[in-house]
Amino acid sequence: MSDSRNVLTPEALLMMDTIARTGSFAAAARELGKVPSSLTYSVRQLEDALDVLLFDRRSRQARLTAAGTELLVEGRRLLEQMDAVANRVKRVATGWETQLTIAVDGVISRLTMFELCESFYALNPQCVAHREGTAATVPATLGSPGTRLRLRTEVMAGTWEALVVGRADLAIGVGLEGNVPPGVQMREIGTIPFVFAIAPHHPLAAASAPITDVELIRQRAVAVADSAQRLTPLTVNLLPGQDVLTVSSMQLKIEALLRCMGCGFVPEPMVREHIAAGRLVVKTMQRSVRSPHIGYAWRTPDAHAAGAARKPQLGLALRWWLAQLDSPTTRAALLERHGQVLLAGI
């Protein structure tokens, strides 16, 4: 190991930070409980090992050279990273996950998701967690858990896939149809109504009778691409041979409908304001309109795995999120509250 690596210890970096902050070797020595000559000797050792001058000796003050400034900046960053690593290790030991990834389907309220994230980041030392279907208070001696949240936007089968293949720990907005994969638990959120919406100047806007498939197939449909890469992508409400404009999100689909670039089925809560303002028109269809039941799902640890008996079955961060989703008010908001978010395009 090189001499430079040996001398770049947390103590040496803290010494540099203290000297720069207090403005003199004497003041830094008093704060650190050392004599000034000891501090001067330590700085000389650091300079010799790095083969640079860290302080300008021509000044009576402890004035950093360019090299000293760089070491101070990088040293502070390294000290922060060391503290962060120590805190993450403590969180793991107390049951808090280092990172929690949540896959969110595009029909779920972004506004409500951001509010939940804000509440999570503002956790107090006593936080609510979910345990065996009931809410329970779980002590968190570290205060705010510091778990890193990662949100993924998925569509239809892609939301399931993110959970099943391990890209997510929690999936919100999964369809309830079909079998639940092994190692996964699921709860219902509710039913989200879909409507057939078009711009007021669309050719079908003047139709008085329910629109038939014969009329519909002549019009371009706007569809959201399923984000699944391994599972079979889902195709819903498209007719064979129909012209299709495919977009990547429900928000883009609504934008295309507003521009009269096609027609399509959309969640009623997401277009409620556009309908009320007359920017979109809802038409009756001869075919039945699908109102899917959606829920949330999470992966559970294998109880038979080695060491499982000594580990918590669910991390505290996931348990907190499950406790929030257990609330009927939260579940309703995830389906209904589709107001504007602060950052466009999220």
Q: Residues 18, 32: contact at Cβ < 8 Å?
A: yes
Q: For each successive 10 residues of the chain (346 residues), what is the average pLDDT?
A: 72 89 88 89 89 82 88 85 67 75 94 94 56 36 68 88 88 85 89 94 91 92 84 76 91 95 94 94 88 90 52 80 96 87 43
Extract long-range pairs of 26-35: CB within 8 Å, 24+ residues apart. 28/62
Whole-angstrom distance, CA of residue 217 vs CA of residue 211: 10
CA-CA-CA-CA torsion sign (309, 103, 112, 326) = negative
- What's the pLDDT at 98? 84
Amino acid identity for residue 269 in this structure: P
Short-list 131, 138, 44, CA closest to 91 = 138
Instruction: Tell me how crowded residue 136 is: count the other CB atoms within 10 A of its CB.
Output: 11
- What's the pLDDT at 92? 60
pTM of the predicted model, to two decimals? Answer: 0.67
Short-list 153, 91, 84, 146, CA closest to 121 = 146
CA-CA-CA-CA torsion sign (104, 110, 114, 115) = negative
Short-list 266, 269, 273, 236, CA closest to 249 = 266
Q: Residues 68, 55: contact at Cβ < 8 Å?
A: yes
Q: Residues 267, 193: contact at Cβ < 8 Å?
A: yes
Whole-angstrom distance, CA of residue 142 vs CA of residue 91: 8
- What's the pLDDT at 114? 94
Whole-angstrom distance, CA of residue 252 vs CA of residue 274: 14
What are the chain's domains? 3-92 (1.10.10.10), 97-190+293-336 (3.40.190.10), 194-283 (3.40.190.290)
> Which tokens sit at 283?
């038409």
Bridge partners of 129, per DSSP, are 136
CA-CA-CA-CA torsion sign (19, 24, 29, 31) = negative
Extract long-range pairs of 119-122: CB within 8 Å, 24+ residues apart. 119/324, 120/145, 120/147, 120/149, 120/317, 120/320, 120/321, 121/149
DSSP per-residue string spanning 297-330: EEE---TTSTTGGGS-SS-HHHHHHHHHHT-HHH
Q: Mark out the alpha helices in the chain (DSSP H runs).
A: 3-7, 10-22, 25-32, 36-50, 66-94, 110-121, 157-164, 213-216, 250-258, 268-276, 316-325, 328-336
- What's the pLDDT at 340? 58
